[in-house]
Chain A
Amino acid sequence: NAGVTQTPKFQVLKTGQSMTLQCAQDMNHEYMSWYRQDPGMGLRLIHYSVGAGITDQGEVPNGYNVSRSTTEDFPLRLLSAAPSQTSVYFCASSALGGAGGYNEQFFGPGTRLTVL
């Protein structure tokens, strides 16, 4: 199993450009999420999904869109990049634990994004 994969690993954008960060998992997990991590800080949740066709906003959703057409893929789209979106982006997936909450999350290696 490849686990959680993310592409690209690095990306430089100019202000106003758009792009899509790709995330895929091969563990048949229902829950997938996107986080951003800024220097010296923890992870802040951008968007998440509990299954194909279902997405919801996290703490910092503005400027980002997501879709979940399949169980495996959960792309994150930056609509119009801004310097404030310079960050490291992590995708994660987890099996749902039903009424008992979430199980462990598996993280991708991250995408380092710089917006000039």
Chain B
Amino acid sequence: SQQGEEDPQALSIQEGENATMNCSYKTSINNLQWYRQNSGRGLVHLILIRSNEREKHSGRLRVTLDTSKKSSSLLITASRAADTASYFCATDARWGNNDMRFGAGTRLTVKP
């Protein structure tokens, strides 16, 4: 089964607003990553946060990780129409399967 699950499934906001997406996972992890997918295209890596980190920033992106709650959040500030895409979290488990698993994603629509 998928390791991570994003919430909400879909999010619609106005340009300039902030967008927050959440990811919950089931087992202890080494790293958690966020990816973006524009319609019909391959995924693009956004940011990686390690299990011993609590927060990372990259431009307008802010990611937090709470290992006690097995959850992460992705915040996009001052959103733009070009941010419209699907966003996925991916995790690699510390024990068990030696692979990376993705959640079902959050579909973000930013209205101009």
Contacts and interface: CB of A to CB of B under 8 A. Distances in A.
Interface of A, helix, strand, loop or mixed by DSSP: strand
Interface string B94-109: 1001111111110000
Interface residues of A, number: 29
Contacts, number: 74
Interface residues on B, range: 20 to 34
Interface in A51-85: 56, 58-59
A43 B88 contact: yes
Contacts of B105: 41-42
A99 B31 CA distance: 11
12 contacts: A33-B99, A42-B102, A42-B104, A43-B88, A45-B100, A56-B98, A56-B99, A92-B43, A94-B100, A97-B30, A100-B50, A105-B43
